[in-house]
Amino acid sequence: LIRCIPISFSFSFLGNLPVTGINKRDIVFLLDGSDDSKNGLLAIREFIRRMAEDLDIDQNIVRVAVIQYSEDALTYFLLNTYSSKKAVIYAINGLTAKGGRNLNTGAALQYVRDHVFTAASGSRHQLGVPQLLIVMTGGGSSDDVAGPAEDLKNSGVLSIAIGIKNAVEAELQSIAFSPRFIFNLSAFGELLHIQPDILSFIKSKMGIEPPTIIGKNNDTWHIPQIQTFSFDFGHLICALLKPFNFHPVELDAAQRDIVFVLDGSDDTRDSFKPMCQFVQRVVDKLNIGPSRDRVSVVQYSREPQVHFYLNTHATKQDIHNSIESLKHQGGSPLNTGRALDYTKKNMFVASSGSRILEGVPQVLVLVTGGRSQDDVRAPAAALKIDQIVTFSIGNQNADAIQLQAMSYTPGHTLTVPQFDDLQTIEQKLVSYRDVVFLINGTDETKGSFSRMQNFVQTLRLDITENRDRVSVVQYSRDAEVHFYLNTYTTKEDSLDGVRGLRRKGGRTLYTGAAIQYVRDNVFTASSGSRGLEGVPQILVLLSGGRSSDSVDAAASSLKELGVLTFGIGSRGSDSRELQRISYDTDFALTASDFSELPNVQEQLLASVQAVPIPVTPTSPTFTGMCMAEF
């Protein structure tokens, strides 16, 4: 039993209904289809598609429906429309924005209750199958939400509320079955970060022990058992122990203050060396310096002990030497809450070298191998309030709920079977990519070339030799490299290179030849590509016209090489050609003209953030933001 806030209504969720199977679910997606959310459609579609791929969709197991709304609600398909996963995913891939200026969320909720969660529409409510509603809204409602939301709760529908951008917090609270089922996001691209957490809840064993709220004055919440509590997966419900609205924190800056907090208790005596080696490998990938990244190490068991502060060492070698000399502290019990509180008050302060007052991102990396004997929720919440981003790394002995509670978001939780496997996740903490921009430089782009330059400059990249690398190639009849992946090692030099671009000119566009040129001459080790080292290879094509040659063979050869191509076109582009060029059809983005490039930037970011970083097959699952997100 978990204590939670008092509930002001009396309700029994599927109290005495028969249970027909623990895997059966009726899931309805209610989507904001208004004009204001149109640019987020790609991320919404990808979110639903991934959910569908991971669910056991079948008319006898999981049924799915999709409804869009703005002023009114529109059924895209009902719970009994499709009987196979393939058919559902095909329908999701064809989802287009409904459009509309206003949002009547209350009316949409009432519509779903009256017309979708019914036997005629495929609902199996009367058979005891859990009824789930996932609401995604990007703005405030023009009508009353509380009444219809209450009706849904009283009908036994468990609603998850996802607010994006301009959603109203009070409305989300009304919609959600519990405060624990509220996700408040700043951008559509963040949907992919919470998808695993929602999926893990949906897959939990609701049928065996339905959650129940007993009486008006009883504040006890019965949480359903988790079907799979494997430490190879970062799951559970977002903010299970404490609801918290997160604000975006820039982690791709040129400077960071990073504090490693290591479990030095008796239980980690045999695994302390792998912990230290893990820290050293992460440090190797950082840009250490007084004006760059700063690092500190704290060890703890019953009490925390500082090994060095953020302003103790100014070079990578000094940090390495200090970590090499670390001795295991030992002791019990494990007081992780006390260590977090100590770290906040004594490490993330100016006197210890923290640049928190200067706006430098503050990062805490916790490595723990057991359950804390003190409370971790209050110290973790205090860290979040101060915008200190905590990554929680645990082994098979760590408490998964505590790990989730301590992490900045559930996606910042990483797990390994044992600490000898830590080497598989350091790339998750410090990720990097090779990004090549291929730009149309023909006469037709004379009026929009500066906008393409600005688009490249404003993408969030952490450019250094050991982090993100960037190349720019321009083309018309032939291709011309402006700089390679290993030409510049600083962000400023790269930006200067982009600012100095001059349009190539030319009447004919040979996109196929340009793609082949990039494959053969830019995505190579001699040009700075780290593809052979497993670093993701990304091509961003800014086309704006139809190619005069075939693109199929060149695009296929890039895919075979493992290069992820994003095709961005304008009104003059061939949409089918863009889709053939792109690694996936969802990676093909269009704007009416290149003056609208900023509008597709969020879609590009959403897709690129979802790009998997290749690791060894034994790597644990990690479902969240890295320290350097593109």
Coil, strand or helix at 89: helix
CATH of domain 256-429: 3.40.50.410
So what's the pLDDT on residue 106?
A: 94
Is the confidence at residue 452, as pLDDT, over 70? yes
Q: What was the pLDDT predicted at 604?
A: 58
Spatial contact of 301 and 265, defined as CB atoms under 8 Å apart: yes
C-alpha 214/C-alpha 22 separation (Å) is 22
Q: What integer pLDDT is reported at residue 539 of this predicted model?
A: 92
Mean pLDDT computed over 24-33? 93
What gap in Å lies between CA 440 and CA 449, rounded to an integer?
Answer: 8
How many angstroms separate the CA atoms of 353 and 75, rounded? 56
What are 118-138's pLDDT values in tens digits?
A: 988 999 887 778 899 999 998
Banded model confidence at residue 527, pLDDT cuts 50, 70, 90: very high
Residue type, 557: S
* Residues 9, 349: Cα–Cα separation, whole Å: 45
Which carries the bigger pLDDT value, residue 336 or residue 13?
336
The confidence band for 460, taking pLDDT boundaries of 50, 70 and 90, is low
C-alpha span between 460 and 470 (Å, rounded) = 12
pLDDT of residue 504: 86
Alpha helices in 32-80, H assignment, sequence order: 41-54
pLDDT at 442: 87
Q: Residue 363 pairs with which residues in a beta bridge?
A: 258, 389
Mean pLDDT over residues 129-154, rounded? 90
The percentage of the chain sitting over the pLDDT mark of 90, rounded to a whole number, equals 34
Domains 256-429 and 434-609 agree in fold: yes
Contact 580, 556 (CB under 8 A): no
- The answer to whether 130 and 157 have CB atoms below 8 angstroms apart is no
**Among 42-46, 211-215, 228-232, 481-485, whose mean pLDDT is lowest?**
228-232
pLDDT digits (tens, 9 = 90+) for 502-512: 888 888 999 99
Q: Domain limits of the chain?
A: 16-221, 256-429, 434-609
What is the Cα 441 distance to its own chain's centre?
34
Higher per-residue confidence, 557 vs 312: 312
State the pLDDT at residue 615.
30
The CATH class of 16-221 is alpha beta
Please give the pLDDT value at position 596.
52
Q: Are 302 and 337 in contact (CB under 8 A)?
A: no
DSSP element (H, E) containing 200: helix 191-202
pLDDT interval class at 599 (50, 70, 90): low
- How far is residue 447 from each of residues 58, 219, 444, 477, 547, measured CA to CA in Å? 52, 63, 8, 19, 19
d(CA 612, CA 623): 10
Token readout for 386 is: 């101060």
Q: Average pLDDT for residues 378-394, to the nearest whole number? A: 88
Residue 352 pLDDT grade (very low, low, confident, very high; cuts 50, 70, 90): very high
Tally Cβ neighbours within 10 Å of residue 618: 11
Residues 376 and 341: beta-carbon distance below 8 Å: no
Provide the whole-model pTM: 0.40
Predicted pLDDT at 215: 29
Q: Does residue 201 register a pLDDT over 60?
A: yes
CATH code linked to domain 434-609: 3.40.50.410
pLDDT in tens, 294-320: 999 999 999 999 999 999 999 999 999
Residue-averaged pLDDT of the chain = 78
The CA angle 262-268-274, to the nearest 5 degrees, is 70
The gap from C-alpha 90 to its chain's centroid, in whole angstroms, comes to 24
If you average pLDDT over residues 561-567, what whole number do you get? 85
Collapsing DSSP states into helix, strand and coil, what is residue 408? coil
- Backbone phi, psi, residue 512, to 5°: -60, -45
